[in-house]
Amino acid sequence: MSNYNNLFENQQKKIASSLDITQLANNNAQLYLEDKKFQDFSQDSINEIVKEMCYLHKENKVKYKNPCLMLDLLEQFLIKRKQNPVNIINFCLNDQINPMVQIILADCYRFGKWIEKDEHKAFSYYQKSAGMECALGFNEIGFCYFFGIGVEKDEHKAFIYVQKSAEMGSANGTTAVGYCYHYGIGVEKDEHKAFIYYQKAAEMGRPNGTYNVGFCYQYGIGVEKDENKAFIYYRKSAEMKDACGMSRVAECYRNGIGVIRDLDKAKYWYQRKILRLADEMGEKTSHTISSTYHSEEEEVPSNSNNNNGGGSNGGSNSRSNNNGNGRTIKNEWVHNLEIEDDLKKIFIESKYQLSWFSFDEFKNIEMIGRGGFATVYRAEWFDKIQYLNRPVALKLLHESNNYCKEFIRELKAYCDIGHKDPTFLRCFGVSKDKNSKDYFLVMEYAVEGCLRKNLRAIAQMDWRDKLNLLQCIASDLLIIHSQDLIHRDLHSGNILLNSFKSAYIADLGLLITTNIASKSNSDGIYGVLPYIAPEVLNKQPYTKESDIYSFSIIMWEILYGKPVPFEQKLELQFQLQVFNGLRPHIYENTAICYTNLMKKCWNMNPKKRPTAKEIYDTFAEWQNNETILLELSESDKKLEKIKNKYVQIDIDSDYRSRFISFNSSGYALLDDLFL
């Protein structure tokens, strides 16, 4: 300990109880600032600082934080004192006995912080730390073997080292062992063992271990599925200020998973998550010393952002813009990107929390869907803070390098809607294909895919869950309409599911404001024909009521468990019939209450259709009405044969959004047919 024991003792409780890195760093740095001994900031002072940081870490005053935390603490202090960090490097190079000093030096080499980047040297210093029986050293060696950092990638060795770290009592290592068993990395996959290790990490107070226990309970991974317990553990991790936990708590409240549905509480937790992420990003970017000590040619040190949701997630090249210094650095970084100026403006906008992802950060990329305007991929991005792979969706907009305005419009739509209502499907940022130069939206990943591909399974659910799902869709439509926007391409392929109880409206590429829609004049429309309202087929502008018509078709599909019948080869005839009153067939024994609502939604007169708010309120009322629930359940039993009837439909080709010319559609076709 240094000679400022009294100051340290006075602040020790604050530091020990802190769950916020910035607060902890401020408390710690203040100790030195108040001690006159360090005003000259000599080499001895540096030695004392580093030793004190190591002491804090060893004594678990900064437990369970990012391993690079000490670099952040040191960096913030150096900025306050306006000192060159080369002194830290010199001290670390001369210290051969403190394992935490070896970790600091390894991190500096690994990230190129204050010294030329050298991953082989980083690995060597992690080894030195492990040789001194440092649990964190073993854990970092495992991390290096996992990613091939300074050593040839070897997943089995990665497992051995994180297991050693766990045996030494490291909560981080314990979580990592659970992760290896969970995904079969370097060891035979065993989900039950994964759960046990996650549970151990949770008992040790590790936030992401607690989160992972909740995840296992939600999806029945290594333990019997229990959504109530899932919510409890998510809530615990959220209370530890874990952003992923906050996101899951919000999702549970939004979708009624393990807790009573409550949109106000969902919004509250989404907002807390956003603020937490802003803090985490700001901890580095707002105090980055690199802008002072790096040359202009060198890249500003990268940040990890533990956004998730179910993914969750900013890239390692993401930058924050949450305060003055971070905003300046972010602006400089954005201006160096080879992207259009209009896109740069969105990144710089302070109210948006967007990240730029290098495409190299994504692994295990696989196509999961293709539409008329975009192809969607599933990918994994490794969250180095949570030590977990985070699934994300990558939406590639076809020829977005040539049609950047369309891409920016959709990106901005997600940003604007998400900013005003964080319960909406989240867009984490942008990436770019190196070969085609087309842009990707990096989106929240929906585990169950689109509604259309899950209709048969959803039709078998009980009506409380189906009403909850319908209410989720109505809620998102209400969010869109409340901001004076129209979706214009609403169909079951654009409804994404995190679970069979949780739905989000996606694909905002055709979103438009009501005032622009009323003035638009085109030779055709984009969309999937069975979902397009008759007035739109008759060359009338899209309105909010047109979206309600589309919603009625989705209601029909959820009821009967199959896509609405449609043959593309009979397209012209179908359009004419819709305009003349044709609607999907309502089978005998369908519940009257449900039938009446569907009919209202697809009424020929748009003005007689209910609003999204009225639909949302209706579903909320039905969920608490035992008479209605009984009527719906009894109806389901009588419709069992119809729901189980297999229908051969080419979902991928017949139900893509595409351009439909007015020259061969709707009422405009009548003159041609009967001349």
Indicate the pairing of strand 355-356 with strand 362-370.
unpaired
Residue 176: both structure tokens together: 């990592």
Indicate the pairing of strand 495-499 with strand 449-450.
antiparallel
Report how far residue 246's alpha carbon sits from residue 236's, in angstroms, rounded to the nearest whole number.
9
Residue 23: both structure tokens together: 């607060």
Q: Can you list the alpha helix ranges (DSSP code H) found in 561-611?
A: 571-579, 592-601
Residue 317 has φ and ψ, to the nearest 5°, of: -105, 15
The residue assigned the tokens 């959004």 is 657
Report how far residue 442's alpha carbon sits from residue 354's, in angstroms, rounded to the nearest whole number.
10
Residue 400: both structure tokens together: 């977005």
CA–CA–CA angle 542, 525, 497 (5° rounding): 75
Residue 53: both structure tokens together: 């940081």
C-alpha distances (whole Å) from 648 to each of 183, 563, 651 are 35, 10, 9
Report how far residue 529's alpha carbon sits from residue 656's, in angstroms, rounded to the nearest whole number.
9
The residue assigned the tokens 């309970």 is 217
Report how far residue 226's alpha carbon sits from residue 236's, in angstroms, rounded to the nearest whole number.
16
E strand or H helix that includes residue 303: strand 303-305
**Residue 322 · residue 286 · CB < 8 Å:** yes
Residue 105: both structure tokens together: 């030096």
Residue 452: both structure tokens together: 């259309």
267 is known to lie in a ligand binding site: no
* Those residues with Cβ within 8 angstroms of residue 660's Cβ, 6 or more apart along the chain or in another chain: 524, 525, 526, 527, 529, 532
CA–CA–CA angle 61, 67, 73 (5° rounding): 60
Nearest alpha carbon to residue 442 among 308, 271, 272: 308
Report how far residue 139's alpha carbon sits from residue 106's, in angstroms, rounded to the nearest whole number.
13
E strand or H helix that includes residue 393: strand 388-397
**Residue 647 · residue 563 · CB < 8 Å:** yes
E strand or H helix that includes residue 503: strand 502-505
The residue assigned the tokens 């998730």 is 308
Task: Identify any residues that bridge with 394 across adjacent strands, giving them in sequence order.
Answer: 377, 442
Dihedral in degrees, nearest 10, Cα atoms 96, 43, 103, 128: -10
Residue 486 has φ and ψ, to the nearest 5°, of: -125, 135
Nearest alpha carbon to residue 271 among 247, 291, 237: 247
Residue 209: how many other CB atoms lie within 10 Å: 29
CA–CA–CA angle 34, 37, 40 (5° rounding): 100
Residue 163: both structure tokens together: 């297991």
Residue 9: both structure tokens together: 């003792």
Nearest alpha carbon to residue 252 among 280, 272, 279, 229: 229
Report how far residue 26's alpha carbon sits from residue 357's, in angstroms, rounded to the nearest whole number.
30
Residue 341 has φ and ψ, to the nearest 5°, of: -60, -40
Report how far residue 282's alpha carbon sits from residue 267's, in angstroms, rounded to the nearest whole number.
22
Q: Which residues are annotated as a binding site for ATP?
A: 395
Q: Which residues are annotated as a binding site?
A: 395
